[in-house]
């Protein structure tokens, strides 16, 4: 086993040592009250302490400063709306989690919010505080896969459930997957598998591609996946410009791209990095010669760079609000979100809402907060309704099987409302595009 824990067996080991440790055993940390629970459900993580009262706590850490701050705020609103709906038993939530009445197993959901700055270290520290101080039964938050991977491992060590926020890396439910972590959203490989045929059809075969890639797990895996799915159609990579998170200027990278002779520019950068690099690509005249593609759609990108830049651009995404014309749940979500926050939700909010709703559903179906039982409820493969139709959790890697939405940027003249940036081109079903669960080396680890 990879992690040492402060679980019951070890405590017993300590106590076995008897008189010598009698003094130290009285100290906090050596001594914890033995679980009052039944023998088949020994205390684990924050259970049963976290659900002993009449409310349960969720720790939320999203980036509120730094490169991913904009997306983090949107995510946060999705989480807050979901908590409100769980506690009030809103029809939308009950459509996703039919057993929900009010709260979760009758307990009110409360939450704490902290700024992760999109840094793994900060996120881990904050969640560690939520777990020890607030006895969180669930935690969430990431707008960076580096954070998601760190929190994944942290969840497994602490034996507290974790639902990822936005995380596009294949590794999150691949080689860095854990028993205690679950992902709702799409990711690099599914994005590539869904987007590549559309690109090949629209742009053609045998194209030269240039990549702008952020230097961490999300960027690397998305880049690799795109390359892999475009290769059969004769696409070649002429340059892959790997930039650190939060680079202040992309001119050097873009000159390399400009002089690479590429036909297509695939910009994998995210958050503010995507805004900046896209704007600068325009300034360097690159977008006049190379077709821009956004493999992993960035909430608010079109708004920030302007519709002129995203016009005609293909992107893969989790959700776009005009899906409300097609899915009734999407309509309910967009309406209640807009009513509360005054703008159309982006996919970060949708992902956040769905993640909490699915957790509520799993707990209700398990009938207990006991984490292994909740995990098994998740793993039961129950088909549930979502804002993009029917979806289900894959037991082998804890990845939700869900469609990938391909969108194309609208020209400003075609926009029917100020928020009408993207046109949904295709909704690619999830089963067809997802890799085999063990393709990325996922080993989930133990339940206890």
Partner 1 sequence: MRRHIPLLVEALTAIGLIATPFVVPHLGFAPDTVNQILTWGLFGIGFDLLYGYTGLLSFGQSAFFGTGGFVAAYLLTNNLMANVPLALLIGIVGAAVAGVAVGVIALRRTGIYFAMITVAIAETFFFLENSPLSAWTGGENGLPGVPTPTFHLFGLTWAVGTGWSMYWFLAACYFIGIVVALRIVRSPVGAILIAIRDNPLRARAVGHAIGLYKLAAFVVAAAYAGFAGGLLGVMQGFMPPDAFTFDTSGQLVMQTVIGGGATLFGPLLGAAVWLYLRDFLQAVVGLGAAWKLVLGLVFVLLVTFLRRGLIGGLVDAVALLRGRARPAEAEGDAPAISTEPPPLASIARRRRQDDAFTGPVLEARGLTKTYGGIAANRDIDFTVTAGELRAVIGPNGAGKSTFFKMLTCEVPPSAGTIRFHGRDITGLDVSRVCQMGLTKSYQVNQLFARQTVAQNVMVAALAERRGIFRLDLLRSIRSVRGLQAQVEQTLAMVGLAARAEVPVAELAYGEKRRLEIALALAASPSLLLLDEPLAGMSPRERVETVQLLKNIRRGRTLIVVEHDMDAVFELAERITVLHEGRKLAEGTPEEIQRNSFVQDAYLGGVAAE
Partner 2 sequence: MITWPNFVSQLFNGLASGALLALISCGLTIIYGTLGVLNLAHGAMFMLGGYAGYVAFQATGSYVVAVAFGALFLVVVGAVIERVVIRQFYDRPPEDQILVTFGIGIVIVELVRLGFGSLTKTVPPPSWAAGVTPMGFLIYPTYRIVVLAIAAAALAALYIVLYRTRLGMIVRAGIEDSGMVGMLGINVYRVFMLVFGVGAMAAGFAGIVNAPVVSLTPDLGESILVQTFVVVVIGGVGSFPGAILGGLIAGEILSLTSMVNPAYSEVMLFVVMTLVLLLRPQGLLGLKGRA
Q: Which residues of 215-249 are buried (b: 16+ CB within 10 A; e: fewer)?
A: ebbbbbbbbbbbbebbeebebebbbbbebebebee
> CA-CA distances (angstroms) from residue 339 to 207, 332, 334, 344?
45, 11, 8, 9
Q: Tell whether residue 20 is a contact of partner 1 (CB under 8 A).
A: yes
* Sites for partner 1 among residues 54-73 (CB under 8 A): 64-65
Strand order in the sheet with 389-394: 384-386, 389-394, 399-401
Span from 126-134, 295-303, 396-404, 405-413 in contact with partner 1 (CB under 8 A): 126-134
Span from 197-205, 250-258, 327-335, 435-443 in contact with partner 2 (CB under 8 A): 250-258
Nearer residue to partner 1 within complex by CB, 139 or 422: 139
What secondary structure letter does DSSP report for 229? H
Shortest distance, CB of residue 261 to partner 1, whole angstroms?
25
CA 338 – CA 430 distance, rounded (Å): 28
Site string for partner 1, 314-353 (x = CB under 8 A): ----------------------------------------
CA 207 – CA 262 distance, rounded (Å): 8
Question: 3-state class of 85 per DSSP?
Answer: helix
SS3 content of the chain, % helix, strand, coil (to 5): 45, 20, 35
Q: Tell whether residue 363 is a contact of partner 2 (CB under 8 A).
A: no
Size of the site for partner 2 (CB under 8 A): 32
Span from 23-31, 62-70, 344-352, 395-403 in contact with partner 2 (CB under 8 A): 62-70
Among 110, 280, 324, 435, binds partner 2 (CB under 8 A): 280
Q: Which among 422, 404, 415 has a CA at the least distance from the CA of 194?
A: 404
Among 88, 101, 132, 283, binds partner 1 (CB under 8 A): 132
Q: Quick one: which H or E segment has residue 145? A: helix 145-158
Q: Which does 20 bind (CB under 5 to 8 A by kind): partner 2, partner 1, none?
A: partner 1
Q: Which does 258 bind (CB under 5 to 8 A by kind): partner 2, partner 1, none?
A: partner 2
Q: Tell whether residue 242 is a contact of partner 2 (CB under 8 A).
A: yes
Site string for partner 2, 178-217 (x = CB under 8 A): -------------------------------------x--
Span from 9-17, 195-203, 350-358, 418-426 in contact with partner 1 (CB under 8 A): 9-17
Site string for partner 2, 13-42 (x = CB under 8 A): ------------------------------
CA 231 – CA 279 distance, rounded (Å): 28
First to last CA, the chain: 10
| H-assigned helices in 44-111 | 69-88, 91-96
Among 70, 124, 257, 442, binds partner 1 (CB under 8 A): 124
Q: Which among 397, 396, 400, 422 has a CA at the least distance from the CA of 186?
A: 400
Span from 49-57, 241-249, 315-323, 422-430 in contact with partner 1 (CB under 8 A): 241-249
Tokens for 393, please give them: 């959790």
Q: Which does 216 bind (CB under 5 to 8 A by kind): partner 2, partner 1, none?
A: partner 1
Give the chain's radius of gyration (CA, Å).
23
Q: Tell whether residue 65 is a contact of partner 2 (CB under 8 A).
A: yes
Site string for partner 1, 167-206 (x = CB under 8 A): ---------x------------------------------
What secondary structure letter does DSSP report for 407? E
Strand order in the sheet with 422-428: 236-243, 208-214, 264-267, 291-294, 314-317, 404-409, 422-428
Nearer residue to partner 2 within complex by CB, 104 or 147: 147
Nearer residue to partner 1 within complex by CB, 215 or 390: 215
> CA-CA distances (angstroms) from residue 352 to 79, 133, 141, 348, 371?
5, 23, 8, 6, 20
Among 253, 296, 333, 347, binds partner 2 (CB under 8 A): 253
Tokens for 37, please give them: 């629970």
Q: Tell whether residue 120 is a contact of partner 1 (CB under 8 A).
A: yes
Which residues sit opposite 197 in a β-bridge? none
Span from 59-67, 197-205, 318-326, 339-347 in contact with partner 2 (CB under 8 A): 59-67
Q: Tell whether residue 6 is a contact of partner 1 (CB under 8 A).
A: yes
Task: Compute the half-sphere exposure of residue 95: CA atoms within 13 Å on the CB side of its CA.
Answer: 19
Residues forming contacts to partner 2 in the complex (CB under 8 A) are 64-66, 69-70, 215, 239, 241-244, 246, 248-249, 251-253, 255-256, 258-260, 272, 275-276, 279-280, 283-285, 288, 304
């Amino acid at each position: 086993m990879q992690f040492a824990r402060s679980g019951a067996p070890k405590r017993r080991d300590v106590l076995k040592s008897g008189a010598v440790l009698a003094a130290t055993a009285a100290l906090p940390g050596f001594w914890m009250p033995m679980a009052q629970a039944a023998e088949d459900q020994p205390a684990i993580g924050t259970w049963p302490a976290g659900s002993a009262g009449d409310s349960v706590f969720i720790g939320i850490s999203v980036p509120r400063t730094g490169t991913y701050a904009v997306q983090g705020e949107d995510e946060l609103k999705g989480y807050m709306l979901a908590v409100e709906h769980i506690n009030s038993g809103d029809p939308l939530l009950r459509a996703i989690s039919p057993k929900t009445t009010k709260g979760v197993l009758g307990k009110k959901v409360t939450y704490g919010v902290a700024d992760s700055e999109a840094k793994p270290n900060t996120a881990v520290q904050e969640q560690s505080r939520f777990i020890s101080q607030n006895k969180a039964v669930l935690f969430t938050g990431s707008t960076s896969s580096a954070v998601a991977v760190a929190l994944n491992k942290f969840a497994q060590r602490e034996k507290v459930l974790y639902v990822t926020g936005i995380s596009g890396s294949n590794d999150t439910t691949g080689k860095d997957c854990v028993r205690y972590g679950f992902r709702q959203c799409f990711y690099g490989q599914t994005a590539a598998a869904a987007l590549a045929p559309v690109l090949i059809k629209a742009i053609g075969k045998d194209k030269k591609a240039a990549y702008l890639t952020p230097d961490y797990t999300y960027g690397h895996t998305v880049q690799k996946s795109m390359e892999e799915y475009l290769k059969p159609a004769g696409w070649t990579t002429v340059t892959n410009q790997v930039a650190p998170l939060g680079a202040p200027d992309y001119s050097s990278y873009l000159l390399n791209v400009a002089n690479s002779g590429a036909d297509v520019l695939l910009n994998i950068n995210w958050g503010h990095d995507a805004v900046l690099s896209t704007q600068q690509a325009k300034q360097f005249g690159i977008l006049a010669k190379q077709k821009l593609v956004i493999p992993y759609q960035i909430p608010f990108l079109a708004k920030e760079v302007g519709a002129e830049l995203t016009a005609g651009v293909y992107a893969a995404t989790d959700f776009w609000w005009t899906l409300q014309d097609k899915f009734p749940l999407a309509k309910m979500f967009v309406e209640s979100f807009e009513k509360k926050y005054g703008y159309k939700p982006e996919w970060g909010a949708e992902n956040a809402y769905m993640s909490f709703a699915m957790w509520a559903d799993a707990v209700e179906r398990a009938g207990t907060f006991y984490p292994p039982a909740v995990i098994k409820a998740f793993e039961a493969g129950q088909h549930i309704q979502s804002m993009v139709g029917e979806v289900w959790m894959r037991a082998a890697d804890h990845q939700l099987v869900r469609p990938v939405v391909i969108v194309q940027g609208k020209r400003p003249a075609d926009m029917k409302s100020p928020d009408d940036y993207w046109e949904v081109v295709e909704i690619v079903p999830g089963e067809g595009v997802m890799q085999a669960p063990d393709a990325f080396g996922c080993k989930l680890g133990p339940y206890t």
